[in-house]
Amino acid sequence: MKMNNKFLLPLLLTLISLTWAGSFIVVEIATNEISPIDLGFLRFLVATPIMILFLLIQKKNIHIPLKELPSLAILGLTGVTLLYFFQFIGIDRTNAPTASVLINTNVIFIALLSALFLKETFTTKKITGISLSFLGVIIVIFSNLSQEKFTLDNIFFIGCIFIILSAFCWAVYSIVGKRLLVKYDTFTIITYAFILGTLFYIPFVISDIIPTIQNVSFNGWMAVFYLALLCSVFGYIGWYYALKKTDASKAAVFLNLIPLFTITMSFFLGETLTMPFLLGAILIIYGVYLTQKAN
């Protein structure tokens, strides 16, 4: 079994990273037909019942004390609703490679929030990693604006801000979730976050979701099912299975493959990648790697 895990876990983590990398391209294409907000809602409208079914099949203790409801609500908002609200709008206004690189800054935000709220110490390696990633973010944003006059209302710039806000949401989700995941079953907490996050989406989509569902094309539904079944169900179940079998720090290294996979796929799909963008991407990925190594 140890031999199997030695090869199967890296394969599983690579497949998860590849699946999540593909989501940036799928969203970029799907938002030509479905609004980013509706797409996020449909993703979890499909994924959440499946997660509930898996939870019931496993016959886990699904009781969470009522006092944890505020924390669960924060998880639903930051890990589902706002995370994908910001991310999908950001992808729609930028492009898949840029979004996949900028979303990696969640590691930097986690390090900063951990220092502020969990009193974790800052090492030289962490400071270096954060500084390199911050420099990389600036280069990535301005590499795509070099041909245009820079303004604060530039659509691409606004899209980048949305992606960074999405990364910040994931960091908040991770910090708040850290306490809950120590006390309660991981899969149960994630399922509750999915349920609440889906409910929190309703005010944003209630006015137009029925016409949207009626008019979604076959390709649109394929995008929804890719995001729901592969990215949410397979991705989350596979990820937390891997975390049970190996150290979180070792598993997290595979997340650095996501922007690399997205950039490669985008290149073969005809996306133009400039040298400044690639330099910025390298700085972000290496900075994230240093920050993770410092944990």
Greater pLDDT, 229 or 294: 229
Please give the model's pTM, rounded to 2 decimal places.
Answer: 0.89
The arithmetic mean of pLDDT across residues 263-292, rounded, is: 88
DSSP code at position 148: S
pLDDT confidence of 120, banded at 50, 70, 90?
Answer: confident
Of residues 152, 150, 134, 166, the one with CA closest to residue 27: 166
**Over the stretch 149-203, which tens digit does the pLDDT of each residue have?**
555 568 888 999 999 999 999 999 988 888 887 888 888 999 999 999 999 999 9
Domain boundaries, the chain: 2-293
What is the C-alpha R_g of the chain? Answer: 19
43 close to 228: Cβ distance less than 8 angstroms: yes
The arithmetic mean of pLDDT across residues 127-142, rounded, is: 89
How many Å apart are CA 158 and CA 74, to the nearest integer?
Answer: 24
Res 1: pLDDT: 41
